Structure 1
């Protein structure tokens, strides 16, 4: 039995040495050998695992010994990212502003009988419900009561009060404003536009005094008529969204959605006629 145990031990040692010899032999032999291929198939996954663990250990050690540098780089990248976001927002704002001025220029380039002064909204008077705005221009730039105010989108309203360096603008939704308008598609009889709020508190307007045989319809564009020597002719006001008949008064009434979004007004432009004395209030 002892001899058998010794032989078994010797056999295990011999096989182990032979196995290790095969591993060494597999490193230098061509991969076409079936035996070498078998050994490689056994040990390749082990080698990959060892190398993978080694890479992770190296990455961890690099991170551990360079933590402060990594943290600084991360902070710098975050700051750069925020700066790029801010620049993108500024570019979008400039793009929108450029588009607004381009639209305004298309209106003003053929109306050289007027000049235009830009103004910013600095306040909404309490209780005005977006019917009025305070602008940052006044008598200091020769503004006067009755002057018309527009935006790139269309008609805004009219100046109702002027002080040294500010003024109040009543928009077309204000009950004190009435505008002579016409229908672009038909150029038919003139109607009178006045502000209107529907049941959902939407800021709209209605055109009154249109004749019963008027061809006004949904989708028509409403423009200032130029009558009355107050509002320049051809300023966009809004689009017809519905038409009703008042047979008792023998007229049609068109409900209009203004092109100007009175909740999001930014730049305003005061229309200055060549001869201010000709403004009729």
Structure 2
């Protein structure tokens, strides 16, 4: 019974709408007839004016109503069209994002490959055959890569004391090896040290070690700089001089290390310290090459 009453109300609403529409049309026709009579008979101009005054606002309201319906209908059509366009643009935008991600990934791979190829230029040919390319899969806490885990181990040919480099230069040395992973310390670690020579004169040598007695060394360490000392305080070393491995110890010679940033003479200790800005960015190391250590036993 509830549904029947509901249908009846709907029907009554439809009938009322028709009645109203019919009434509006009738009033409009009466107005037109009144205007015609007032205009052509000339017998009752006042009455004609009254009819005009009544009809004019009705006409304006009807016209406004039709314009409103017309504009609303246009808005509905435009909304649907715009909605389709927005959905299409969103889909296209998503596809472009995916393409950009894929291109960036390919670019990273190409740059990584080029970097690893460049690193092989630092190695003697007899070591290149034993070089292993791999990625960094872990690092020590903090901003700097003082120690790192690489994705290659015994099964891939990595040994303890293997040298770790990338396309920019020397990173550090492997100190622990498992089946498929290895741990290495970088030149920033206090347990690491490397003998260097000046590129301008290979006779001028020294040692990079973060365990140096240099004053204010924490300030340099916070910048990611290396420091060490010259073997002879009389050596002529200047800011901007390029340092490479000397070939003494584990490291093959001529691997780039960095540039001298500052020279500090300590007269009391008869020492000449050097602060070095490394070529390797120790805040960001991704792909590396591991070189088998030299047998110097």
TM-score, length-scaled by structure 1: 0.69
- What is the match of residue 203 of structure 1? 224
Superposed structure 1 runs of 4+ greater than 4 Å apart:
57-63, 125-129
Matched, 1:162 2:177: yes
Q: Which of 243, 249, 262 pairs up with 2:269?
A: 249
Unaligned runs of 5+ in 1: 1-8, 10-53
Shift of 1:73: 2.8
Shift of 1:74: 1.1
- What is the match of residue 121 of structure 1? 136
In the aligned structure 2, how far is the partner of 1:214 from the partner of 1:97? Answer: 43
Matched, 1:238 2:258: yes
In the aligned structure 2, how far is the partner of 1:151 from the partner of 1:241? Answer: 22
What is the RMSD of the two structures over their aligned residues, measured on CA atoms?
3.0
Q: Which of 72, 84, 94 pairs up with 2:96?
A: 84
Matched, 1:135 2:150: yes
Distance verdict in 2 for CA 1:218–1:72, change over 3 Å: same
Matched, 1:222 2:234: no
Contact 1:207 / 1:255 at 8 angstroms: preserved in 2? yes
Shift of 1:72: 3.1
Distance verdict in 2 for CA 1:77–1:118, change over 3 Å: same
Alignment of 1:39-58 (within 5 A): none
In the aligned structure 2, how far is the partner of 1:220 from the partner of 1:239? Answer: 6
Structure with the larger helix share: 2
In the aligned structure 1, how far is the partner of 2:285 from the partner of 2:157? Answer: 23
- What is the match of residue 112 of structure 1? 125
Alignment of 1:179-198 (within 5 A): 179-195=194-210, 198=218
Contact 1:121 / 1:134 at 8 angstroms: preserved in 2? yes
Shift of 1:60: 7.2
In the aligned structure 1, how far is the partner of 2:118 from the partner of 2:142? Answer: 35
> In the TM superposition, what whole-angstrom CA distance separates every residue of 1:47-101 from its partner, at most 9, and x where no partner exists?
xxxxxxx9xx999755522644532331221232233134234434433442343
Q: Which has the larger radius of gyration?
A: 2
SS at match of 2:94: helix
SS at match of 1:146: coil
Contact 1:206 / 1:254 at 8 angstroms: preserved in 2? yes
Contact 1:147 / 1:279 at 8 angstroms: preserved in 2? no
SS at match of 2:175: strand
- What is the match of residue 279 of structure 1? 295
Distance verdict in 2 for CA 1:76–1:195, change over 3 Å: farther
In the aligned structure 2, how far is the partner of 1:60 from the partner of 1:252? Answer: 85
In the aligned structure 2, how far is the partner of 1:253 from the partner of 1:58? Answer: 86
Structure 1 window deviating more from structure 2 (73-82 vs 166-175): it is: 73-82
